[in-house]
Structure 1
């Protein structure tokens, strides 16, 4: 057990996501399995003697994807102030737990304390600290209780008692927006200032995964399995204390088919089925990043040409190409000097490795015909030591009916240098897990002038599902940062935090006041959509705004009319 307690941190172990286990104990000690839920597990395998990490050996879905944070007069625009101040509503989030899976929280900040100085934080699970007591049912990290936090706040050196910090400030900012207490001197108030808070601080991604995904040094990167464990922790905590729960995720990744078929998306769909639980995720900030390409190989046309500009010298990068079944494609890569890989005609899963003579670049192309639950085709292209210049990908339609496909580069923050598609497409840029069907996905807009946030990722999903569900304020929003300071930030993670606070107010009304004591995430989402503000000049739903802009007061107005 002690050996496996180190496994989540050790570079000598691979972390693999599996939906079930069929391995003998002699190969996989029981203690080295982290159960997430009945259908999801994380397996920690000693890498010594195992094949090198790649999707050819371990499958695409088993290798955890890496995520990063999505941030870069809000409450009035969202209809929050009217709901807080309306005498018959006067909602503040009382009795509701808002859980965050993020970078941590500045627990000493005044906005997370009651009027008597005690903390409003119920629990902190710091995955990055190994020295303390782990949460029940989990292999790693340290759990801090409200009692420990209150004790720390009474001392002159709180960090000696609870040595938890938020070095990045992202989690502190988002928790403050969703649930911060009023701070009149800063003209600040969170959406649900009476809600309880639970924070999961994610540990950094392991170095072997950072190398696999070519993540630049210093970039904030977190693992899919750690995020899922954080969500599982929050659901168990809410069940233990019998609290309605809002789960907030302000993280994103460009991995996956962008149709909501990733492991974490399936898990969030499952969690969204729990009664009195709301799940809110950010849409992403990829609309203008030039990281998406949409292509067509028209009927009778042999191929399409995709150009990728590598502006800076980098260690490497990868591209994911996805096509809906039964489409089948193959690709050829042409270097900036004109050297070309050999053409292949794909019949089954396969791999092509090519080293360019003049560029000293190696390209690995993995083909997966039936690699996901949908049977879609994935072509996974890795460029190692790519030469600067324009790289060309020739896409050949081996079996083409609709002739449509998508390509994605890694998300901003997880890609080194300036790498982009020459003919990029701003649509279908919702980041994972924002493409998951069940959670509420929030895009961002400027509440000051009513315009969409320029970088707010656009829908729809690659399968045509409407995402984002709606937009919420996300531009130049004031919030708390470590050190009892306040600053303005922008991003869809901010829009999602405001939405999470609104969901907490709605859960207070529904559950704590007895109007719907078995409410579901789907009901909350649909009520928010019904109450969303829609302009006559726009057609809804649309790729930028979804079904409109969040307005909680209008949601209650709609309920009154029905």
Structure 2
């Protein structure tokens, strides 16, 4: 493999990044470069000039990377973490556990990531944005900075001249601090696992061709699914090399897909989470109140109309309609002026383009069977330059079994204006990869008063699996920001970070201290669910609250009662 060619392909907009699934048997021809993720997935890089434009006829849906963005907009006490940190009690502060973050990077100079003597607690950083290496073992791009280099930088007058790593967004820095930031008595701050080791992947921004495909506005934070997958694979390898148990925190999300955990990143979370001494924690996302999900039931021979409001100056957007495989539907689209896209029966592999005469809106309708583990059918509607107003999508059932149709729109951040369903549902709004069957998916609530965070993504999954698994504090939580300061933020990514810190405490007790040496994500999830706080007036599991509120102290207490 030509490493220079591969490095060029990773960063160049002249190459498509495609996710290749060995189980799915996708055959896309030989790529110019290939990067292995694990035993299931590869990332193939193909020259765009030799390949068709992205569409669902020439490319299986799951080969095109989804785009994700960060999920954010006194927590430790109510979650039972402070009691476990107390040296007079169990002294569980994450010692001997590696906590990894696949996010926007980390500001390694902040005191929240240093030991008492000023040395770093960060064992490694893989910065995917650095085009000049050397990359970490097994990867062909980015730059790796180890503990020795970071310590040398911290002792230098100009640290950035040695380790030029900076988190421009601040999202990754904040999450790392919430999960395992060092105690700072002056600022009255401590992370959940303040003595844990830290490893960080700084993801590079998505290529322009993917931004164009998904109509994502310029300047919006946007990260490719395949880069997160490679980050997850590297963290796993890095932990093995150091013989450390690993907790991974993913605080990013995307809203497209069938919400069953079928996407490659979700599947990878499943596979890693099943391994011993590994835990994966994912944010539930902040989409519950964005009006981007609608569910309908179509009867045999009947029809339903799905209405959506489109604001002025929206450049374009993609709407996805998902249903079970055997069913057959006819679809028609009516513009705000009454012009109609003709009713057409959609079949696997079909693709139709139509330009509305008076609106100059271009509509592309594509149909695909998606998935190798749990196949569903997708009807994708791509609106380019849509006229502002109310658009109607009429769906008629020609062959109906369940009749359940679920529709999703992109994340609000990925839209150039407001687009929403008129009769939306807040349920099944957990973002990808939060529907991973194995990962611990955390929603958010307010520690003071106990009310749910209104935007916290809701379940259940498209297969009716319980998600979120639990909720954790995610409103007005303190975390580190530049320069050497702390501030309050809200969002489910923060709940995921707190939950990841709790998992590090549990791993210290179970693995490092030899109480349960072979814990994995599923077993850890069961322990946390057993100790979760539950209100007697609510029914659990709940699509809003999962199995209850995070309480790691009670999880250990009840384990002793067994």
The TM-score bracket by the shorter chain reads over 0.9
Q: 1:325 to 1:53 in 2, by over 3 A?
A: closer
Q: 1:53 to 1:499 in 2, by over 3 A?
A: same
How many residue pairs get aligned? The number is: 558
> 1:301 and 1:68 mapped to 2: Cα distance?
40
> 1:107 and 1:35 mapped to 2: Cα distance?
29
Match of 2:287, SS state, is coil
Residue in structure 2 matched with residue 445 of structure 1 by the alignment: 445
Residue in structure 2 matched with residue 96 of structure 1 by the alignment: 97
How far does residue 277 in structure 1 lie from its aligned partner after superposition?
0.5
Residue in structure 2 matched with residue 10 of structure 1 by the alignment: 12
Indicate conservation of the 8 Å contact 1:297/1:303, yes or no.
Answer: yes
Residue in structure 1 matched with residue 31 of structure 2 by the alignment: 28
Residue in structure 1 matched with residue 317 of structure 2 by the alignment: 317
How far does residue 516 in structure 1 lie from its aligned partner after superposition?
1.1
How far does residue 376 in structure 1 lie from its aligned partner after superposition?
1.2
Residue in structure 1 matched with residue 511 of structure 2 by the alignment: 511
How far does residue 72 in structure 1 lie from its aligned partner after superposition?
0.3
Match of 1:344, SS state, is strand
- The superposition leaves residues 279-327 of structure 1 with CA deviations (integer Å, 9 ceiling, x where unpaired) of 00000100100000111113x5511011110012121000011012322
> 1:527 and 1:446 mapped to 2: Cα distance?
23
Indicate conservation of the 8 Å contact 1:528/1:555, yes or no.
Answer: yes
Q: How does 1:81-480 map to 2 (within 5 A)?
A: 81-85=82-86, 87-298=88-299, 300=300, 302-369=302-369, 372-480=372-480
- The superposition leaves residues 104-143 of structure 1 with CA deviations (integer Å, 9 ceiling, x where unpaired) of 0000000100111100000000000011211111110000
Indicate conservation of the 8 Å contact 1:100/1:199, yes or no.
Answer: yes
- The superposition leaves residues 58-89 of structure 1 with CA deviations (integer Å, 9 ceiling, x where unpaired) of 11110000000000010001111111126341
> 2:146 and 2:347 mapped to 1: Cα distance?
56
> 2:99 and 2:347 mapped to 1: Cα distance?
49
Indicate conservation of the 8 Å contact 1:328/1:377, yes or no.
Answer: no
Residue in structure 1 matched with residue 539 of structure 2 by the alignment: 539
Deviates more, 1:513-522 or 1:95-104: 513-522
Match of 2:344, SS state, is coil
Indicate conservation of the 8 Å contact 2:301/2:398, yes or no.
Answer: no
Residue in structure 1 matched with residue 68 of structure 2 by the alignment: 67
Q: 1:453 to 1:13 in 2, by over 3 A?
A: same
- The superposition leaves residues 236-273 of structure 1 with CA deviations (integer Å, 9 ceiling, x where unpaired) of 00000000000010010011100111111111111111
> 1:347 and 1:60 mapped to 2: Cα distance?
15
Q: 1:539 to 1:19 in 2, by over 3 A?
A: same
- The superposition leaves residues 202-259 of structure 1 with CA deviations (integer Å, 9 ceiling, x where unpaired) of 0000000000000011111000000000000000000000000000100100111001
Structure 1: where are the runs of 5+ without partners? none
Indicate conservation of the 8 Å contact 1:325/1:374, yes or no.
Answer: no
Indicate conservation of the 8 Å contact 2:131/2:141, yes or no.
Answer: yes
Indicate conservation of the 8 Å contact 1:352/1:365, yes or no.
Answer: yes
How far does residue 369 in structure 1 lie from its aligned partner after superposition?
3.6
> 2:50 and 2:560 mapped to 1: Cα distance?
65
> 2:14 and 2:384 mapped to 1: Cα distance?
23
Indicate conservation of the 8 Å contact 2:56/2:368, yes or no.
Answer: no
- The superposition leaves residues 476-509 of structure 1 with CA deviations (integer Å, 9 ceiling, x where unpaired) of 1111012111110000000000000000000000
How far does residue 462 in structure 1 lie from its aligned partner after superposition?
1.3
> 1:141 and 1:508 mapped to 2: Cα distance?
31
How far does residue 557 in structure 1 lie from its aligned partner after superposition?
1.2
Match of 1:82, SS state, is helix
> 1:370 and 1:238 mapped to 2: Cα distance?
33
> 1:243 and 1:312 mapped to 2: Cα distance?
52
> 1:494 and 1:274 mapped to 2: Cα distance?
25
Indicate conservation of the 8 Å contact 2:19/2:41, yes or no.
Answer: yes
> 2:324 and 2:90 mapped to 1: Cα distance?
47
> 2:343 and 2:330 mapped to 1: Cα distance?
8
Indicate conservation of the 8 Å contact 2:367/2:377, yes or no.
Answer: yes
> 1:198 and 1:28 mapped to 2: Cα distance?
31
> 2:7 and 2:138 mapped to 1: Cα distance?
12
Structure 2: where are the runs of 5+ without partners? none
> 1:412 and 1:485 mapped to 2: Cα distance?
29
Q: 1:371 to 1:514 in 2, by over 3 A?
A: closer
Q: 1:24 to 1:382 in 2, by over 3 A?
A: closer
> 2:507 and 2:370 mapped to 1: Cα distance?
41
How far does residue 370 in structure 1 lie from its aligned partner after superposition?
5.3
Match of 2:380, SS state, is strand
| TM-score, normalised with respect to structure 2 | 0.97
Equivalent residue in structure 2 for 1:19, among 14, 18, 21? 21
> 1:302 and 1:218 mapped to 2: Cα distance?
44
Indicate conservation of the 8 Å contact 1:320/1:407, yes or no.
Answer: yes
Q: 1:330 to 1:264 in 2, by over 3 A?
A: farther
> 2:202 and 2:376 mapped to 1: Cα distance?
34
> 1:369 and 1:239 mapped to 2: Cα distance?
37
Match of 1:413, SS state, is helix
Deviates more, 1:311-320 or 1:426-435: 311-320
> 2:369 and 2:270 mapped to 1: Cα distance?
25
How far does residue 97 in structure 1 lie from its aligned partner after superposition?
0.2
Indicate conservation of the 8 Å contact 1:318/1:380, yes or no.
Answer: yes
Indicate conservation of the 8 Å contact 1:371/1:378, yes or no.
Answer: no
How far does residue 22 in structure 1 lie from its aligned partner after superposition?
8.0
Match of 1:499, SS state, is helix
Indicate conservation of the 8 Å contact 2:81/2:502, yes or no.
Answer: yes
Residue in structure 2 matched with residue 550 of structure 1 by the alignment: 550
Match of 2:164, SS state, is coil
How far does residue 348 in structure 1 lie from its aligned partner after superposition?
3.3
Match of 1:378, SS state, is strand
How far does residue 560 in structure 1 lie from its aligned partner after superposition?
1.4
> 1:143 and 1:197 mapped to 2: Cα distance?
14
